[in-house]
Amino acid sequence: MLFCRLYGNPVCTASNAARAANLCQPTSVTDAPSGEGKQVSTTCFPCPTNFEYNPSSPIPCFCAAPLGVGFRLKSPGISDFRPYKEAFENDLTSLLELRVYQLYIERYIWEAGPRLNTHLKLFPNNTNLFDMAEVVRLREVLAGWQITLLDVFGPYELLNFTLGFYADEFRTAASPGLKGGALAGILVGTIVAAIAVSVFSTVFIMKRRRKQRTISRRSLLSRFSVKVDGVKCFTFDEMAVATRDFDISAQVGQGGYGKVYRGNLADGTTVAIKRAHEDSLQGSKEFCTEIELLSRLHHRNLVSLVGYCDEEDEQMLVYEFMPNGTLRDHLSAKTERPLSFGQRVHIALGAAKGLLYLHTEANPPIFHRDVKASNILLDSKFVAKVADFGLSRLAPVPDIEGTLPAHISTVVKGTPGYLDPEYFLTHKLTERSDVYSLGVVFLELLTGMKPIQHGKNIVREVNIAYQSGDVSGIIDSRMSSYPPECVKRFLSLAIRCCRDDTEERPYMADIVRELETIRSMLPEGEDVLSSTSGSGLLAKSMSSSSTTTTGALYVSSHISGSGQADSGIPSGMVAPR
């Protein structure tokens, strides 16, 4: 017998919750708070402040000082956590080198995305206290993303690491090797220096306040030494005015990093304002990385950074506004104006040119590491611009002997469905990791499918259809009409980009050349209209061309026919999926 639970179904709404309690997946679960589990007898004496009973401990009534961890799964491949709870506990404790009973999941809640926000407690191993070196190690492992969970749980982010009892000792323990007199001397010197710096800073800040008439808190950027020459720094008040105090009607998007708002600056410029979530360690690093990269990257196919806000404990990035949203929006089944084949080729070419600039012309070169349809934005003329550099990494540079490393060794980050399988397995990031991700985007353009949908992987599904010699069933029938030879070459290119073996994938320069060849093969006018006209004119033009063009050059989904090329791409009607 198969038993399923509903998720997102109207019957699971609050008004029906009691009636459907046994049918719906819970959005949040709170277990007994640590210190109140079933192992705690009523005869147990209360624990001292900052100490708790471990509900998972094999020893009853044992007080210990735990560490609190806010831990969020960003893209889990599950919709119900309960059957996977034990596997998660085993996986995480194994990676952290802890016993299973040292971990207690106090509560978890599903958030939009979907993402799974969990609150964890880590307890010492049957002792009252963690060794301070162990506290330092656990924090470094979690905050440094030095572990990789099972694929089913996807990437994670550390929201907070609560020290509790260990807070006072942590700073000393984090700097090992300083003892006795040396530590005392350094402490005295530090206090004296701090007083001097404080006096100087107070005078400097007061003068600066008189000039600027703004009161800004200490900038995150100074801590990360980010250079933002030529990028405007906005105040929090300016951002609030631009978005009507961050009104929900101004919100145009939301992701793992935060929310995106449409705003109007004082000079009338329309911008996109990306506002970070609070208390996100990963968000802080992504914020600084993106400013540093975007401030020195200038290309027609890369989103332009207008400025940033680092004030009032806020982190915001201000971009040029893209009125046509993301590529993913236009591939959705809900879109009212599907993209024509010509538009899709132009978008693919624009994205490839933006990445080629990052790989070969940026100094030093950059690997994007999170290429996906939702990170490709479209301006008013449907020109593609690559966005979201929060996960980007600088490419390797030659060593002292002039030898250029072939890859970067790094913790795996990215989006499931787009991740280069070799990068996932070896943690070796190369420029052709971006090629794989872009190949997945090409497959989305050709099929309209999502990378992972109903448990099916787009790369696997397309390869099966391609090898069988019949891809007509997977080509997006909403394209209206297309030249079969162009589709054949585009599909072949996408499949080569998605090879498992890195060496079998083309370089980005090869991809750009092939796409330019495909563009040159488009019927006269198609390449011009796709890059210069709005969607209304394009729709009208495509409607006209689908009824006037005949022959093998141009295929319409509204014209019947039975011819079929060797690739499985028909010369007549495209059967809907």
Strands lying side by side in the sheet with 251-254: 232-233, 305-309, 316-320, 270-276, 258-264, 251-254
Cα(99)–Cα(123) distance, integer angstroms: 10
Neighbouring C-beta atoms of residue 216, cutoff 10 Å: 16
Beta pairing class for 305-309 and 232-233: parallel
| Residue 430 identity | T
Question: Which residue in 168, 247, 329, 370 is the catalytic one?
Answer: 370
Q: Residue 100 phi/psi, 5° resolution?
A: -60, -40
Whole-angstrom distance, CA of residue 314 vs CA of residue 300: 29
Residue tagged 């749980």 (tokens): 153
Has 274 been labeled as part of a binding site? yes
3-state secondary structure of 271: strand
Angstrom distances, CA of residue 300 to CA of 304, 358, 386 = 9, 12, 10
Helix then strand then coil, % of the chain, to nearest 5: 40, 15, 45
Tokens representing residue 225 in the block: 């030494």
Whether 34 and 121 have beta carbons less than 8 Å apart is answered as: yes
Q: Among 88, 90, 123, which residue's Cα sits nearest to residue 108?
A: 88
Q: Which residues pair with 260 in a beta bridge?
A: 253, 274
- 370 in active site: yes
SS (H, E, C) 519-577: HHHCCCCHHHHHHHCCHHHHHHHHHHHHHHCCCCCCEECCCCCCCECCCCCECCCCCCC
State the binding site.
274
State the binding site for ATP.
274
- Which residues belong to the active site? 370
